[in-house]
Amino acid sequence: MMQKIERHIVLVAPEVHWNTGNIGRTCLGAGAFLHLIRPLGFSLESRQVRRAGLDYWPRVKLSVWDHFEAFERALAPQAGEVALFAKKGAQSFRAMPHLPRAFLIFGSETAGLPEPLLSRYADATYHIPISDEIRCLNLSTSVGIALYESLRITSPVHAWS
């Protein structure tokens, strides 16, 4: 029997509408849920968000939360199910846990994740290695890398592959 895989992408205070639109499209393609934690740097009603998500945006499994604690109370992630992504994360993204349910958490494009959140989950911080030639990867690129890596290491065969 195939194990149910559940992925949640959490964006804390995203600022750039086209990144969020692209991430929504990626989530839909991978069967993942998208959670946005306010404040948002754009309106979800903006044409640019819908354009980045193309005609897929209405089908994205989207939840918007007023703050991280509300999200946490509602979904109650268990120990080991949380992976925070930061430039200075302690572990490589390849070391993510191999669990059926996972919450991949990303910060805003300019500020990253808030320090209190990084401290609370200090043992669950990850980074995607990059060369010294660039400052960072684009947020939507990072989400895509982490999401598909988490699916690969959990279940090599998917119903949609």
pLDDT digits (tens, 9 = 90+) for 91-118: 999 999 888 999 999 999 999 999 999 9
Q: What does the DSSP 8-state code read for residue 57?
A: G
- Looking at the predicted structure, is the pLDDT value of residue 161 above 50? no
pTM: 0.91
- Looking at the predicted structure, is the pLDDT value of residue 50 above 80? no
Tell me phi and psi for residue 120, to 5 degrees: -65, -35
Q: Which domains does the chain have, with CATH numbers?
A: 6-154 (3.40.1280.10)
38, 43, 45, 48 alpha-carbon torsion, rounded to 10°: -120
For residues 148 and 112, give the distance between their C-alpha atoms in angstroms, rounded to a whole number. 21
Q: Is 134 annotated as a binding residue?
A: no
Q: Is 21 annotated as a binding residue?
A: no
> Which two tokens mark 96?
């993510």
For residues 19 and 14, give the distance between their C-alpha atoms in angstroms, rounded to a whole number. 8
The pLDDT score that the predictor gives to residue 93 is 95
